[in-house]
Amino acid sequence: MYALSDVRKVFGNDAPALDGVSLTVGRGEHVAFIGPSGAGKTTLFRLLNLTLRPTAGVLLIDGVDVAALDGAGLRRARRRIGTIYQQHNLVGRLRVVHNVLAGNLGRWSLSTAVASLMRPRAADAARALEQVGIPEKLWARTDELSGGQQQRVAIARVLLQDPDVILADEPVSSVDPSLALTIVTLLRDLSHQSRKTLLVNLHSVELALGYFPRIVGVREGRIAFDLAPDEVTPELLGALYAGHSDATRQLDRIHDGIGSYGTACRPLPGFSK
């Protein structure tokens, strides 16, 4: 699905946000990215969802070089990637139905898009909302929903977009811990059902280790490790988060066996744990 070789991203005259990143992700894989804030995970995701271009190196998506994409081709490629952000990625003043149907914008002509604002095909949106568990919010104004509900609307939008890849950039960092587990499992189950590739950027090491079969650690713009969860040792984690105090507290808690998420880890059929 994705093949990155020696990708580098520089903004202006600053130090590179990403450097020497090489990574391959196959179709249908579930990968969790962890690392301290500022490590470059978000930049990596913005490269993966074609919001940004690499400054150097090669990024192949399904064998196609991203650098060759432009205009309509770029939009077609973007359509195949669905993104969920940490927060504020929905248009607050629009009703939920419109935000969900916006997943179709990559397919629709402009006139269809405008017409949908006036007469939306609510049935499609309703189905997606049912899958994420909030069908009753169909006509609510999006900014009246709680953070967790808004994230579910964002997921519903991705469902309508029906992409090949789902990228989730810290989808549960601004959400109640009790809800975080629900959302992560929702993402996992939905991707598994439709065989989509799922790449998630997580602040919580616990969620990553407990629910994903492949863990990539990112630190200071480089990939520190790329392993299965049982190969991720406390030493590796310590080195990854060295110098970031809040994260090390999290690690201590995991080490002491105190979970933030209450329920026992539930392995996904087909993945070993």
Instruction: List residues binding another protein (CB under 8 A).
Output: 49-53, 70-71, 74-83, 85, 87-94, 98, 102-103, 105-108, 110, 113-114, 117, 122-124, 126-130, 135-136, 138-139, 154, 157, 159-162, 194
Cα–Cα distances in angstroms (integers) from residue 146 to residues 48, 158, 185, in the given order: 28, 19, 19
Which one, 103 or 229, has the nearer CB to another protein? Answer: 103
Residue whose structure tokens are 């195949």: 80
Report, in Å, the least distance between residue 143 CB and another protein.
11
Which one, 35 or 103, has the nearer CB to another protein? Answer: 103
Report, in Å, the least distance between residue 177 CB and another protein.
23
By the 8 A CB rule, do 185 and 210 touch? no
Tokens of 172: 């549960």
Distance CA 177, CA 181 (A): 7
Which one, 91 or 242, has the nearer CB to another protein? Answer: 91
Report, in Å, the least distance between residue 272 CB and another protein.
27
Residue whose structure tokens are 């104004």: 141
Report, in Å, the least distance between residue 135 CB and another protein.
6
Report, in Å, the least distance between residue 165 CB and another protein.
11
Distance CA 23, CA 223 (A): 9
The secondary structure element, H or E, covering residue 221 is: none
Distance CA 134, CA 128 (A): 9
Crossing angle for the helix pair 147-161 and 122-132, to the nearest 10 degrees: 120
The secondary structure element, H or E, covering residue 21 is: strand 18-25
Report, in Å, the least distance between residue 129 CB and another protein.
8
Distance CA 229, CA 216 (A): 10
Which one, 25 or 160, has the nearer CB to another protein? Answer: 160
How far is residue 243 CA from its own chain's centroid?
25
Report, in Å, the least distance between residue 86 CB and another protein.
9
Which one, 129 or 218, has the nearer CB to another protein? Answer: 129
Which one, 71 or 243, has the nearer CB to another protein? Answer: 71
Cα R_g (the chain), whole angstroms: 19
